[in-house]
Structure formats: C-alpha cells, structure tokens
Amino acid sequence: MDDALTFSALVLALSGRLVQEIHAQVSRQGFEDLRPAHGFAFARISFGGATTADLAEHLGVTKQAAAQLVEELVRKGYVVRRPHPRDARARLLELTDEGWAATRAADQAAREAVAPWREELGEARFQELVADLTRLAPQGPIRPAW
C-alpha cells in the first residue's frame, strides 16, 4: 500500500465532497446562480486589493478567463469594480452586499458540512487535525477575511 497515494486520494475525495456540500447548501440558501468557482473568487476578492489579474493568479486561470468570471459576477450583482488608487488602467474588485451574503452562506455551509467529521473524530482529534493541516498549508484557509 502506498500511503502517499492513499493520502492524496483521500484529501482530494474529502475536498471534492466538501466543495459539493457547500455549493448545494449555498444554492438552497437562494444563491442558485453561483458555481463553486465563484466561491474561490469571493475568497480572494474579500481580502481586498484584488484586481482581475490577482484573481487570475489566485484561481490559476488566464486573465481572460478571470475577466469573464468577473464580468459574470458583476452582471449578477455580487461584485463591483472600483477605480484603483495607483493604477488608472486597473480596477479593484469588491463584493457587494449580496456577495457578502453569499459568502456568509458559504461559511455557514462549511461549518455544517464538517460538523459530522468533528463529531466522528471528537473535538480533541478534530483540533489536532486542523493544526496538522495548518502546518501543511501555511498560506492558511481560503476563507474570506472579515
């Protein structure tokens, strides 16, 4: 048995399941027009100072793909573009009130999605697992800043 492959497969499976559970719950909360990729975009935009180029880098997509995603989010009313204070060619992206509402719905959905894991592992082991994963992912969570 190859522990590295097993670990990789399990992390990917849990990640995929978590994304799908969060997406399903967010949709049930009234945000049916959002896709999982939007949540990853919201996470970067919510930290502030994000341009379309920053979003492209965060998502690992081309600037053109990020621009299309931004245009969609603007059209749906989740994001606005503001003038960049130091670059007249760039625009800063900000979540609207509706964007923040969707983000809060996703945060609550994430809490609910991991609740069974917390119960299964017990509080102490769950906290140890969070600490272990924090060491492995030092950039921290993709969760939006408040």
Residue appearing with tokens 């969707």: 102
The tokens 């995603």 sit on which residue? 69
Domains contained in the chain, CATH given: 3-136 (1.10.10.10)
pLDDT digits (tens, 9 = 90+) for 112-140: 999 999 999 999 999 999 999 888 886 65
Give 17-61 pLDDT, tens digit per residue: 999 999 999 999 999 999 999 999 999 999 888 999 999 988 889
Its pTM stands at 0.86
Query: Residue 142: pLDDT band by 50, 70, 90 thresholds?
Result: low
Predicted pLDDT at 135: 87
DSSP 145: P
